[in-house]
Structure formats: C-alpha cells, structure tokens
Structure 1
C-alpha cells in the first residue's frame, strides 16, 4: 500500500529568511486512514547493513550502503508496516533532507521511460538510503540521482536538501531519470503535488543537475513543446483540471501571502517555480501557510459567508490528512553543534504547534515516539483529537487554538534562546546532553499545553452540545 499524492513543500534560501538560515519544509499528508508518525534518532548502529524495500521488494547492493553511516533524525511511520518512510531529518554533518513531494507526469515520458511495475525505490526508501551518507546538499542530489538511475523508481517524486549555504530541489522523471535545481539564496519555492521545476539551463552545472542523458532524451523523442528554452514542467509534467483544483491553488495562496500584489488566479497553470517574497521569511510564516485553508478568500472551508460549492472548489494546504509537518532549519548565527533544528508538528496543522527540536542528539522525547495505536500519552494522538474536536465548530474553537499556539510558541522560543546561550561553548557529549535536556523540556511543555487545550475545548463545547434539556429552555 502506498500513500496518496499529498504534501506541500516550501523551500527558502538563506538570504530570504529572517535569520540567515536555510529552511526546507513539507507537510506529510495521507489518505482516509490515519497514519501515526514518530520522531526518532537513527544512530549509526541502527542503520541497516542490508536493505530491502517493503513495498517493491527491491534489494540494495551492500556496497551502496556505505561504511560509517552518520547519525540522523527521522520522522518515520509509527507502524513500520509498509516500510520506514523516514520522511525528513538532519544528519550529524548538518545536512537536511525531506522526501518526498508526490508529483505529476505525462504519457510522453512514460512511453519512453515508464515507471517501474516491479522493483525500484520510492518515498519509503529515499531518506534511509541517502541522508546518513551525505555531507552537503549537493552531495545529496548526486546520491539520490545515482540511486534512481541504478535501481529505478515506481513513482514520480520531489525531494529537497539543505546545508548552511545551499538549498536544492530534485524531481524524478520517468523510471530512471531526474533533474535538480539550486534555489537562489534570495528566493523561495512553493511546490505542491505537480512537477514543479520549470526553467532549466543544461549549461549551468553550478545551479542545475540532471541525469547525463536527459537533454539527449528530450531531443531524440521531440518532448519539448516550447519554441525556445527548456521548461521541465511543460516537457515532463502535467497541466490538467486536477492540477487547477488540487495543486495550483496551494501555490497561489502561498505567493499571495508573501506578496499581496501577486497577480494570477488560483487555477493558473504557469505559476513560476522560483519566486521572491516582499519580506524575510520566518518559521512562523511557514507554520501559518502549512496550516492554511484559504483564509480571507471565498474558498475557505470554515467561512460562513461563502457557498458550499466555493468551499469545495480547491484543496487546502492545512487539511485533516496532515499527519506530520516539519521545517528543517540550518542556522548560520550559532555554533555548528547548535545549527540543526527540526521544527516538528504532528496531526492536522490547524490545531497544533511546531516544536524546534535540536537535532545534534542521540535520542528523542518519549511523547514524540508515537506508537501505532491510539494513546493519549503521545502528542500525535492529542493533536489528532484536538483537530477533530475543533473541526466541529471552528468559529468557537479556533480562538482557543490561536491563543494556545501563540503562547506555546513564545515559550518554546524562550527555551531555544536560553539553550543557545547556555550551550554555545559546550562540545561533544556535554553539548548533546544539554540539547537532549532542552528537547525534553520543549516536549513536556508542548504536551501539557496541548492537553490543556483539549480541556478548554471540552469546557467550551459543553454548553454547545445539541443533546441537552433544561427546565428553562
């Protein structure tokens, strides 16, 4: 069983962020079945020495599982039933990876290099086979590209890498091809479930990479519909009615948030891949967008002034199928040992908060090590419960959530600031223990605040229940 085509990716270069960090973010969404997500550290002794995919049964040659793997954080599926699905993490070389954004394709490339029907790698495998072995974002692109060329893939996917200086986005093309682009330092990217890379310069090897025969393939099979240049979305992607309703509106809303004068419509098929904000971007901006449902537009499902048809017209970013969302931040204003931060939230983003976990650690808080069964000692299930309660009367409960999120985020920021100062001269085990202590403190604070939110929602909703009777009624 594979996950449906979900997720929304946001990438930000270091000159476009509020603090000079690089940030790569993605919501990991699923389908109608709840998919519990966890947060763990994979230490070198835990990295597999032999590997076989669960879904495709693809075996990896042992020589491709390089010796001396690095420690890395991971946000895997809690059950492990369909494989690891590590999703996102930062390794001990302070390199970040998120995988994957399911993307679109067309029959022209599928008729030349079809997706594999047997074997191959996919979202289940990419982080586990890539992140522990790379020391830069550029290396990440090359290694993932190598794996796709050697073993092939059964799905179209986009992945992103970041280090202190660079952000890269790579997309698989057909069964064995790929292309990647470096995000300019002063730019951001909004990438929904479509093939996203547009302009591509095959001569600029500093900012563009691809499988060696990609240009020859385009020319040989007459794949380019444009008179001039190369637009990979036009060549390999789609431009369908589904894109107009499912994908493009999400990018439109993000662009509209970062630039109020943004022109275009939600269904616009040619929104650019590389874009520039009118202000510097913070983690709080990304949290709002990953939680958004077209607020202040006619398409908000929670609005009381629009029609049912308008509410159902476009797929929102924040949705009941958000199961895990992250911002992988590589900071440039702190010592190296403090640089990696994995902002993490479980459950639907309309009723949760992002926690800025340090990644230079060997273990993670127990409340974030989710199990597959409903368990209110785990933050995943508390957040899921709050979102389902909140959805019953958003107008009432959203005010409680907003206060919860602002107060909790401020307290988490305070812990982070205090830890940065206290740990700036620490190294080695002393540093890791300090960061693990801070992570535990943030997890405990978040869990308590989330349970308190549950209590406030129950108390507020008590008088709103329809099943009631009073002599004064």
Structure 2
C-alpha cells in the first residue's frame, strides 16, 4: 500500500496578504518514488461508477460532475490519488493528511480492514460534486457514514470565503472546524483539531459524536471538548515526528510564542504577527529547521540534533500544492493551483490557473519511469544532486527559485489584466496559454540550474587527480 505523510497549512482570507483563502499540503511518500502529474478531469471523463483499487469499495456517483484539476499518481497502480484541485465553481480540496488516533476510539469504532475509502479516493468522490467548502465537509461526512475508512485522515476545503478542516475519527465518524478568517493552521501527521464547540455553526461532526464521548467516558478534561485529547495521540513519536513541524511554522509567524518542539498541546488555531503570503508558505513547505540546531544542512547542531526532528521539506516530498481562491479578480481568474514537484528544497512552485481544459505536457505527461522531458523527474534529479553538497548548491537553487517565481508572477499580472473582460472559451484559451508559458520558463530555468550545478560540482568531485596534485 502507498504510504503518504504530509504537512498542511491553511490561511484565512483576512490573514492572507491579498485576501485570498489558501490551503496547502505537501504530498509525501515512502521509500518508493511515486511520480505525480497535473491533469484536468472534464465532466465526460469523470467515472459514474467508481471502484477503489486498494479495497475494491464501489461507489455510484451522482450525475453532472463539475470540471476539476487534480494531481494524480502517474502510474496509477495504487489508484488515482487525485490529491488536490480546484473545480469550476472555485471550490478547492486537498486530501489527505495522514493523522493519528488512540486505542479508546478504535475500540468503539474500529478502522475498517481491507474495505472502505481512503486517501486514494476522497478527491475523486468529492470535488466534482461540491459548490462550497461547507458542502465538501458534508459530502465527505456522508461517504464516511456509508462506506467507512481504513485509515485516519485530515482534509481541507476552501472557497472564496471559507476554509474548513475535517478529520476522520475511527471507521465511520468525523469532525470539522471552520478556520477563522483572521487565523492560520499548521497540521502535521497527528490529530490536530483541539477545542470544539458542538453548539456553534462553525463546527460540524457526526450526529452521534458528542453522545459517543459521553457514553464511553472519553473526555479527559474537566471542562469543554478538546478533540485532540479525546481522539488523538500524545506519543514520543509525536514529539519527534509531528510537533516540531508545527512549532517551526508557528515560531516563523510569531517568534514570541512560548512553546518548544516537544510540546504536545500546541494550538490548532493560531494568529500570525503579520499577513501571510504565498511566498511564506513556499518557504515553510521547503523548510528544514533553518537557523536552528535541527537543520540537517546547517552548522549549528550536533550530528544527533540534526536528525532529531522530521522537517517539512524532505526527500519524500513528491508534490506540493497551494490552492488559492482570490477575491480581487473576476471569478474566472480566481482559482490558482500553485504546484511544485519533488523535494521542495530544489524546486519552484508555479501558479497555474485552474479555469482550463488541459495542462502543460511537462507537468502532465510524467510517466512512471525516469524521463528528462518531465519536470517531476528533473526536480527529483536536481534535489538528489543538490543534497550531496547543499552549501555548494543551495545558493544556486535560491537564485533559480526567486528568478522563476518572479517570472511567473509577472506572467500572472499580465494575464490578469489581459483577461479581465474575457469569458468562456476565450478566457480558457488565454489562461491555458499563460500556464504553458509559465511551465516552459520553469522547465528551461530548471535545466539551466541543473547545468550550473554540474559545472559547479565538477571541481568538487572526490574522484579526481589534478595535474598539480
């Protein structure tokens, strides 16, 4: 079975720099390289009868699906794994964040064994059928109640106004919270939702969840409901694998926070000391504890400290997305899917418009085998070379990333102005051309960077014997 462990960042519209809603996630895997692609699923290509590859679970789907973007696995041997996208109603979804649980809830509502739905399935079964973020929560809730799940997962939904984060609980239950407009969230691979108000319209859950908590005496707190305390974990693994990632993000946005990497009760809903940009999220998704003793590439810590905590940017990043729904442009321009393939320390994220009917070949036609025409494989090659000597290659990558993202911003600004009055097929053609232009320059800049790395690394090879040696 495919392993996927990720990091999620959510930013409300009043917390973001430009008033957009932002939901982001790195899709991480295990030892096996799992190439990713970028595709548009048209209504006529959406299945009417769905069957999961991993479990064989069969679902009859509603009629009249919406067009949507997706980031499926290139080989498909474990299923679709559509991962994330934005549909034609400018509703975004990312799924899923692998999370933790505890034996208490598993004894009441066990995870299914070899049955039900999981990360492989949720985007395909949900995103084409929802017209708001809130509808996304309700749709997944219905699927969980009817079909169940074999794993613990978190997922996020957004539209131009709202962001909702949902976590599965046991085999058939769930809880979701609306993210306040002026707040942000970082969610690593643990149960993340903490304070929960069953009476507020900004919270939703399975109809019997509060009753289960009472009947089985699951609440360890004297007052209120903290779902992380009730359904989640607080293990030694959390202190090394999960909590440090949340700590690093939260301290990046507010250095005065009084928390440590080991803390089990880091807050779920957080407020930054400034507005949050897409660039902030790109940095954090590539971060490896810079300027701390825990940076594997840094010079502050001991060998043990450098390996103590799992970073966000890691060799197992296979794709990372930032789903942006903008509020300062016409609806036809609002959806932007920032996308980067491979480890985030050596890639550049590209702001693809989602009101399109096709995607650039270098991002679409990845293939399951190594292919130098694919941006996924180029980024994977570049990151593995860069990892051999980060001090040597890191500045080259930084310059490449800034150059590439700046050029993409420029194309986006020009396209936004050009396309203000366009509609329908004319608008889609304009946006498709802009996407192609951004993909082409990213590909060219990536090849250029790879060439510079080869030139720079030539003199630093160990297998050498200079004439003057």
Q: What TM-score range do you get, normalising by the shorter chain?
A: over 0.9
Q: Partners of 1:412 and 1:52 in 2: how far apart?
A: 38
Of 145, 153, 159, 1:157 maps to 153
Q: How many Å apart are 1:305 and its aligned residue?
A: 3.2
Q: Partners of 2:309 and 2:289 in 1: how far apart?
A: 9
TM-score, structure 2 as length reference: 0.99
Q: Partners of 1:32 and 1:58 in 2: how far apart?
A: 27
Q: How many Å apart are 1:118 and its aligned residue?
A: 2.9
Corresponding residue number in structure 1 for 2:92 = 96
Corresponding residue number in structure 1 for 2:384 = 388
| Stretches of structure 2 lacking an aligned partner (at least 5 in a row) | none
Contact persistence 2:112–2:149 (CA under 8 A): yes
Q: Partners of 2:266 and 2:367 in 1: how far apart?
A: 40
Contact persistence 2:379–2:446 (CA under 8 A): yes
Of 438, 456, 469, 1:460 maps to 456
CA-to-aligned-CA distance 1:60-115 (integer Å, 9 cap, x gap): 1x2xx111000000000000000000000000000000000000000000000000
CA-to-aligned-CA distance 1:240-285 (integer Å, 9 cap, x gap): 0000000000000000101111211001000000000011011100
Corresponding residue number in structure 2 for 1:338 = 333
Corresponding residue number in structure 1 for 2:198 = 202
Of 370, 374, 397, 2:393 maps to 397
- Indicate yes or no: 2:349 matched with 1:349: no
Question: Taking structure 1 as reference, are residues 33 and 118 closer, same or farther at Cα in structure 2, changes over 3 Å only?
Answer: closer
Q: How many Å apart are 1:3 and its aligned residue?
A: 1.3
Q: Partners of 2:202 and 2:49 in 1: how far apart?
A: 34
Corresponding residue number in structure 2 for 1:361 = 356
Corresponding residue number in structure 1 for 2:238 = 243
- Indicate yes or no: 2:2 matched with 1:2: yes
**SS of residue in 2 equivalent to 1:73:** strand
Corresponding residue number in structure 1 for 2:369 = 373
CA-to-aligned-CA distance 1:313-357 (integer Å, 9 cap, x gap): 000000000000000000000000000000000000000011000
Q: Partners of 2:307 and 2:95 in 1: how far apart?
A: 28
- Indicate yes or no: 2:217 matched with 1:217: no
Q: How many Å apart are 1:2 and its aligned residue?
A: 2.7
Contact persistence 2:292–2:300 (CA under 8 A): no
Q: Partners of 2:300 and 2:327 in 1: how far apart?
A: 45
Q: Partners of 2:232 and 2:207 in 1: how far apart?
A: 19
Of 282, 290, 293, 2:288 maps to 293
- Indicate yes or no: 2:215 matched with 1:234: no
**Which runs of 4 or more aligned residues in structure 1 lie more than 3 Å from their structure 2 counterparts after TM superposition?**
none
- Indicate yes or no: 2:83 matched with 1:84: no
Corresponding residue number in structure 2 for 1:23 = 22
Q: Partners of 2:393 and 2:221 in 1: how far apart?
A: 50
Of 290, 297, 300, 1:302 maps to 297
After TM superposition, list the pairs within 5 Å mapping 1:52-131 onto structure 2.
52-60=51-59, 62=60, 65-131=61-127
Q: Partners of 1:303 and 1:331 in 2: how far apart?
A: 36
CA-to-aligned-CA distance 1:159-206 (integer Å, 9 cap, x gap): 0000010000000000000000000000000000000000000011x2
Q: Partners of 2:2 and 2:389 in 1: how far apart?
A: 32
Corresponding residue number in structure 1 for 2:446 = 450
**SS of residue in 1 equivalent to 2:165:** strand
Contact persistence 2:17–2:276 (CA under 8 A): yes
Corresponding residue number in structure 2 for 1:47 = 46
CA-to-aligned-CA distance 1:189-225 (integer Å, 9 cap, x gap): 0000000000000011x20000000000000000000
After TM superposition, list the pairs within 5 Å mapping 1:317-332 onto structure 2.
317-332=312-327
Contact persistence 2:99–2:153 (CA under 8 A): yes
Q: Partners of 1:235 and 1:401 in 2: how far apart?
A: 44
Q: Partners of 1:425 and 1:466 in 2: how far apart?
A: 59
Corresponding residue number in structure 2 for 1:312 = 307
TM-score, structure 1 as length reference: 0.98
**SS of residue in 2 equivalent to 1:386:** helix
| Stretches of structure 1 lacking an aligned partner (at least 5 in a row) | none
CA-to-aligned-CA distance 1:403-437 (integer Å, 9 cap, x gap): 00011111000000000000010000000000000
Q: Partners of 2:316 and 2:27 in 1: how far apart?
A: 8
